[in-house]
């Protein structure tokens, strides 16, 4: 089982709220859209991470030209926010990390992978196929920075998850001890996955990755913002996944939800990693 779990951000972008959420009752104005990830401590398997957003070079993982543009116009990033210093801020060391669970391979989730090259990366087979059977330029258009993970093929553990959340809500038991399940949450990308952690203290924490950007899409049933609509691989599949997550939340209100870009969680970890 997991003893502790932390949430941290590797940067953020100032965006209009309409990019994140739509519908009645959604406040206007600009918000800080965080790029977040999880670290967790398993009693037998040690430190595991979910995603590896931004390494030392930050948003330049998309290439120096586009990265400089993103870095100066959109994304706020400091080297001390990248994955290795973040681990140290949680009193963890990169060399302790044996497993990284990837929600999907978009460039704001993969920038730190090279700095964790000794670990095993778990990803769905569909996601790995889509992220690697594409040229570098087409990849960028679809949100993939192939140079982040091209050399890590031998370190990837591709998971065969049923791609229908309704048929397989239990997901894939990664360590075989019931401590963490990979749950297929397709739509944002074809092979997008979430991870559900069972904690030693009895709590369950469900990280839904980019299945929603802001958790109010699940908890308050707000609509998807313009960004989600623009980047979704398959909108109707994404909407179906969200409706399933809404139902799951209704049936399991005690489960703590996290996402990679939730505005309120981002505010909570603005000053440094927080323990959930």
From the list 20-28, 62-70, 210-218, 267-275, the region that binds Zn ion by CB under 5 A is: 210-218
Residue 106 phi, psi (nearest 5)? -60, 150
From the list 67-75, 92-100, 101-109, 119-127, the region that binds Zn ion by CB under 5 A is: 101-109
One DSSP character per residue, 65-113 reads HHHHHHHHHTEE--GGGSHHHHHHHTT--GGGEEEEE-S--BHHHHTTG
Rule CB under 5 A: say whether 106 interacts with Zn ion.
Answer: yes
Rule CB under 5 A: say whether 210 interacts with Zn ion.
Answer: yes
| Least Cβ distance, residue 143 to Zn ion (angstroms) | 6
User: How many positions of this chain bind Zn ion (CB under 5 A)?
Assistant: 2
**Binding-site string for Zn ion from residue 48 to residue 87, where x marks contact by CB under 5 A and - marks none:** ----------------------------------------
From the list 14-22, 43-51, 198-206, 209-217, the region that binds Zn ion by CB under 5 A is: 209-217
Buried b (16+ CB within 10 A) or exposed e, 60-97: bbbbeeebeebbeeebbbeeebbbbebbeebebebeeb
Beta bridge partners of 183: 194
If the CB atoms of residues 47 and 193 are measured against Zn ion, the closer one turns out to be 193
Binding to Zn ion in span 150-179, by CB under 5 A: none
Residue 238 to residue 211: CA distance in whole angstroms: 7
- Binding interface with Zn ion (CB under 5 A): 106, 210
């Amino acid at each position: 089982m997991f003893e502790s779990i932390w949430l941290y951000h590797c940067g953020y972008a100032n965006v209009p709220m309409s990019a994140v959420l739509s519908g009645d009752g959604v406040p206007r104005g600009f918000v800080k859209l965080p790029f977040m990830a999880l670290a967790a401590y398993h009693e037998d398997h040690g430190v595991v991470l979910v995603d590896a957003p931004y390494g030392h070079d930050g948003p330049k993982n998309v290439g120096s030209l586009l990265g400089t543009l993103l870095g100066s116009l959109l994304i706020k990033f400091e080297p001390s926010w990248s994955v290795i210093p973040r681990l140290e801020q949680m009193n963890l060391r990169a060399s302790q990390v044996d497993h990284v669970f990837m929600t999907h391979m978009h460039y704001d989730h993969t920038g730190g992978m090279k700095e964790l090259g000794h670990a095993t990366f778990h990803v769905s087979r569909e996601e790995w196929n889509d992220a690697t059977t594409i040229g570098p330029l087409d990849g960028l258009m679809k949100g993939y920075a192939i140079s982040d993970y091209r050399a890590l093929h031998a370190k990837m553990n591709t998971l065969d998850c049923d791609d229908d959340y309704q048929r397989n809500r239990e997901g894939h038991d990664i360590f075989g001890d019931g401590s963490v399940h990979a749950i297929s949450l397709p739509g944002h990308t074809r092979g997008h996955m979430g991870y559900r952690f069972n904690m030693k203290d009895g709590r369950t924490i469900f990280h839904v990755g980019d299945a929603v950007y802001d958790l109010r899409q699940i908890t308050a049933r707000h609509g998807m913002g313009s960004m989600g609509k623009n980047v979704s691989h398959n909108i109707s599949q994404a909407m179906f996944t969200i409706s399933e997550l809404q139902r799951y939340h209704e049936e399991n209100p005690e489960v703590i939800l996290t996402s990679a870009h939730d505005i309120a969680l981002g505010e909570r970890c603005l000053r440094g990693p927080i323990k959930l």
